[in-house]
Amino acid sequence: MNIMINDKNYIVADELTLMTLIEKLTLPQSGSVFAVNEQIIAKQYWDRTRLNDGDHISLFQVIAGG
């Protein structure tokens, strides 16, 4: 299936959860927020959130500074 992560296209296996995708692509977990189709997914639901063909995923990372 095709999904977009921060406007980059990826072809991945069907039946993935958000957590499986994060692990397969070694995306950062600490300090990260993921939104699927503009809906933020709480970390406790990453392993239960099923991805579908055409989903758009946004990855936001916390940046410390001052």
Residue 14's domain is classified under what CATH number?
A: 3.10.20.30
Within a domain: residue 66?
Answer: no
- Give 54's pLDDT tier (boundaries 50, 70, 90): very high
Task: With beta carbons less than 8 A apart as the criterion, state whether 13 and 3 touch.
Answer: no
Give residue-wise pLDDT tens across range 13-44: 998 999 999 999 999 999 999 999 999 999 99
Within a domain: residue 32?
Answer: yes
| 66 pLDDT higher than 80 | no
At 42, list the tokens.
């709480």
Q: What are phi and psi of 29, to 5 degrees?
A: -105, -40
- Taking the model in full, what pTM does it have? 0.89
Within a domain: residue 30?
Answer: yes
> Pick from 14, 24, 18: which is nearest to 53 by CA?
14
**Which residue range forms the structural domain that includes residue 22?**
2-61
- Domain total in the chain: 1
**% pLDDT > 90, the chain:** 88
* Three-state DSSP class for residue 20: helix
Within a domain: residue 17?
Answer: yes
